[in-house]
Amino acid sequence: MVTKLTLEYDGSDFAGWGRQPGRRTVQAEIEGALHTILGAEGLDGRALRATVAGRTDAGVHAWGQVASYAHEAVDPQRLNGLLGPDVAVLRSEPAPEGFDARRDARTRTYCYRVLARRARSALERGRALWWAGRLDVQALAACAAALNGHHDLRAFTPTETEHERFDRTVVRAEWRALSAAQGRDGAAAASDEDEGALLEFWIEADAFLRHMSRVLVGTMLDVGAGSMTVEDFERLLEGRPRAEAGKTAPAHGLALARVSYA
């Protein structure tokens, strides 16, 4: 018997998904609630552990994270009664025999949010990166378009890594403007009168390298700000060194939006 959990959480006060001694993690919170209700042992005779589709880093949020464990399904209301206010179980349902949230995932989708305006936001401060400068949204769109397809993305993950292969297939990548004030030259510009632009970068891929989404965003923002060209970005998709890419964007703007299965 295997159960599939769908979760959402605010990553601000978590040290990431995976258990870490002495630190608060999402895995420890979820497993703690399961152990209280079901006991510490799964139906397979081993310690009851939750396997996750995407191991989010410290500060990264989730809107549709998926986990699995070897035991019966528990009413989400019972689990949520044992969890903190910044993590919630949305669904708990029986899964097919042998289901594994990580191994069986076909694609994962992440969303990175950027608030492009002069004034900081009190409401978006933990949900979106505040960008007060100018951004060429057409350049951002060109970078996203170049991402679609199969690439060697080693430029977008730390040099010291456990990854053995760096090629990934990007199913979809795009920037969306939810509310944009467009300058005449195609750049998102904020004035005292307008509300600026809330930009979202959506990317769906078969798998992700560590920090991949955040380094992609940091590099594309360099392109949008004019310190790199679209051509520079395109060359990075050919397996260039990490040092040639941009900075890693802060974690708080990123969320694991959903996980797709067959």
Catalogue the active-site residues: 57
Residue 230 in 3-state DSSP? Answer: helix
Query: Cα 7 vs. chain centroid, distance in angstroms?
Result: 13
Burial class of 122 by CB neighbour count within 10 A (0 to 12, 13 to 18, 19+)? exposed
Q: 151 and 170 in contact (C-beta within 8 Å)?
A: yes
- DSSP codes of every residue in 49-93: --EESS-PPTT-EEEEEEEEESS----HHHHHTTS-TTEEEEEEE
- Specify the DSSP element, H or E, that contains 130: strand 129-131
- DSSP codes of every residue in 38-58: H-SB-TTSSB---EESS-PPT
Tokens of 118: 């002069």
Angle at CA of residue 171, ends 18 and 254, nearest 5°: 40
Cβ neighbours of residue 45 closer than 8 Å, sequence gap 6 or more: none
Count the neighbouring beta carbons within 10 Å of the beta carbon of residue 216. 30
